[in-house]
A = this chain, B = another copy of it.
Amino acid sequence: MKIGELARLSGLTPSRIRFYERIGLLKTVDRRPNGYRTYPQQAVMILGLVTTAQRAGFTLDEIRTLLPSDLKHWDHATLMDALTRKIADIEALQVRLTQSRAHLLRLIEDIQARPDDMDCAANAHRVLTNMLAEHPEALDVTSDDIRLLDATDRRQSVSPGRGKKTASR
């Protein structure tokens, strides 16, 4: 079949199919005398495999190293290993997402939990401080630093502060 038909059958664009060929992902392609590419039926299955693997989170590079030239001769051990590691990756990502979600929920609650006697600016400050205190890993900042920020921010200071590390003139 020609590239257009393969595109229709696989749901990919011709440009994408040619791209996959260029990067060595689709090797089952011949040429007709007129220069047109011609594909075996198998190509549909290969492309389906590629997009499926992509949805599962594999990069094209990974897919290329896993994909045998002949769909019948897989490297069983390598494949199983890759699948297992990909599952672990997914699980790690799920953990991160769960944390992010919880973090956002806490943030929403925190914003809404504004004491009646607190104005918006002070509430903003309170929420921000809580948030940054919750994740000190990213900020190379000690609790001393947080307290310091706290103070300077409250004073709305833009003047040359003279803290410990913070005040390099």
Which residues of A are in contact with B by a Cβ distance under 8 Å?
A: 1-2, 5, 8-11, 38, 40-42, 44-45, 48-49, 51-52, 55-57, 71-74, 76, 79-80, 83-84, 86-87, 90-91, 93-94, 97-98, 100-101, 103-105, 107-108, 111, 120-121, 124-125, 128, 131-132, 135, 138-141, 145, 148-149, 152-153, 157-158, 160-161, 163, 165-168
Contact A9 B145 (CB under 8 A): yes
Q: Mostly helix, strand, loop or mixed at chain A's interface?
A: helix
Contact B87 A141 (CB under 8 A): no
Residues of B within 8 A of A8 (CB): 140, 165, 168
Which of B10, B84, B87, B108 interacts with A140 by CB under 8 Å? Answer: B10
